[in-house]
Amino acid sequence: MHNEIDLHGYTQVEAIEALVRYYNARVKKGNRSRFDIIHGYGSTGTGGALRVRIRSFLSRHADCLRFEPGENFSPSNPGKTLVIPIKELPDMVDQLAEEILEYCTTARTISKISGKFRRHGDAKVQASLKTLEKQGVITSFFKGQYRHYQAVED
């Protein structure tokens, strides 16, 4: 099995989805050895959006993995990140639902929610909202003519 995944040319959402698939496939096979994420440094010279997004994603899943920026090992290569898997990552649908739930601690209209998470596509946002409602962790109600969604308080 390869010990790296190259995410050049992916959008941010595609890159996270590809990373989760690659990562979970390794863990399911029992492979918890270190691997490198090749994401590039960005053309601005200040760190690219993909690098920032990948590392932000990794930091939110500290219970599932450990990671080190590539520049900690090779100052001339900030375009990669080293990852040591611990356990499987949640799938993208679960992650989107988690983000929507957090966003809806204040009541939001569907247009606000769709706008905030447009990078995932409207169908995935709608499916996540439906799942959250079925789970009883989010409620919907009308305020005037607009449907609002809000996280249910514990």
CA dihedral 100, 118, 60, 2 (to 10 degrees): 140
Match domain 4-85 to its CATH number in 3.30.43.10, 3.40.50.300, 3.30.1370.110, 1.10.1520.10.
Answer: 3.30.1370.110
pLDDT at 130: 92
pLDDT tens digits along 81-118? 999 999 999 877 777 888 899 899 999 999 999 999 99
Fold annotation for 92-151: Arc Repressor Mutant, subunit A (1.10.10)
pLDDT tens digits along 123-152? 989 999 998 999 899 999 999 999 999 999
pLDDT tens digits along 11-34? 888 898 899 999 999 999 999 999
Neighbouring residues of 83: CB distance < 8 A, sequence distance ≥ 6 = 23, 34, 35, 36, 37, 58, 65, 66, 67
With CA atoms as reference, report the closest residue to 148 among 116, 117, 104.
104
